[in-house]
Amino acid sequence: MDKNISFTLKVWRQRGPKAKGAFETYQMKDIPGDTSFLEMLDILNEQLVNENKEPIAFDHDCREGICGMCSLYVNGHPHGPATGATTCQLYMRRFKDGDTITVEPWRSAGFPVIRDLMVDRTAFDKIQQAGGYVSINTGGMPDANAIPIGKDIAEEAMDAAACIGCGACVAACKNGSAMLFVSAKVSQFALLPQGKVEAKKRVKAMVAKMDELGFGNCTNTRACEAECPKCVSISNIARLNREFIKAKLKD
């Protein structure tokens, strides 16, 4: 059984996008080790509400490592120190009794702070809308699934599709680059026959939208790959570059 721990929690508080933010410090006592990080924040918020104080705003939804909403920067790592896991999959047993834990929102020009630990990630939706879809008629489900696809290619496409769009790659990158996210979305379609019809249009539109929204460029530090909760490979960035060059040469 995991033992209880007590620790100091430093949380970024910011009342709005244009307000000046600052860290506030809270003392957490006897938190069970099997408590998830988000459950720990729930406990803190309950205490704050009971004290007639404003609870901490943070994003969450499925709490099963699927939705990517739990976008917290914990002790210098997007989603925290656990490898291949989202914040909701992080448990307090990862920390030691007496630790100081610092929690911040994503830091990126592309993800402005809404309040406290919540950021506006609609930029990813706009990039996806710019070309991250297949609009051709592939027929009914049996017909679409009847298209022969090699096992290796299908698995590689599924690995790219594992991206949950959480934005950890942007938060980890010193340039605030969204290349890993965009390349994963381009790859999951570029590898499949259904996606090849719009391939050139897709890659140009998504890259243009990414640049328009103010994300930085990739300089191959691999921080995005190291911090991605779904372990999406930077080999997708190489594929994105190839697809983009092919599209431009076609023009």
* CATH number for the domain that contains residue 156: 1.10.1060.10
Query: Any residues with CB less than 8 A from the CB of 127 and at least 6 apart, and which?
Result: 178, 181, 182, 185, 206, 209, 210, 213
| Domain contains 113 | no
Within this chain, do residues 126 and 100 fall inside the same structural domain, yes or no?
A: no
**Least confident among 27-31, 88-92, 95-99, 137-141:** 137-141
CA distances, 70 to each of 90, 103, 159, 195, 208 (Å): 11, 12, 21, 30, 27
Q: What is the pLDDT of residue 139?
A: 66
**What's the number of domains the chain is made of?**
2
Tens-digit pLDDT profile for residues 35-74: 999 999 999 999 999 999 999 999 999 999 999 999 999 9
Average pLDDT over residues 200-223: 95
Q: Tell me, yes or no, whether 201 lies in a domain.
A: yes
Average pLDDT over residues 204-208: 97
Q: Which domain holds residue 169?
A: 122-250
Last residue of a domain, one of 104, 133, 162: 104
Q: Decide if 117 is inside a domain.
A: no
Residue 149: the pLDDT is 84
pTM: 0.92
**In the beta sheet, which residues pair with residue 73?**
78, 104
What CATH number has the domain bearing residue 59?
Answer: 3.10.20.30
**Gap between the Cα atoms of 235 and 225, Å rounded:** 10
DSSP 43: H
Choose among 4, 31, 5, 12: nearest CA to 99.
5
Mean pLDDT of the chain: 94
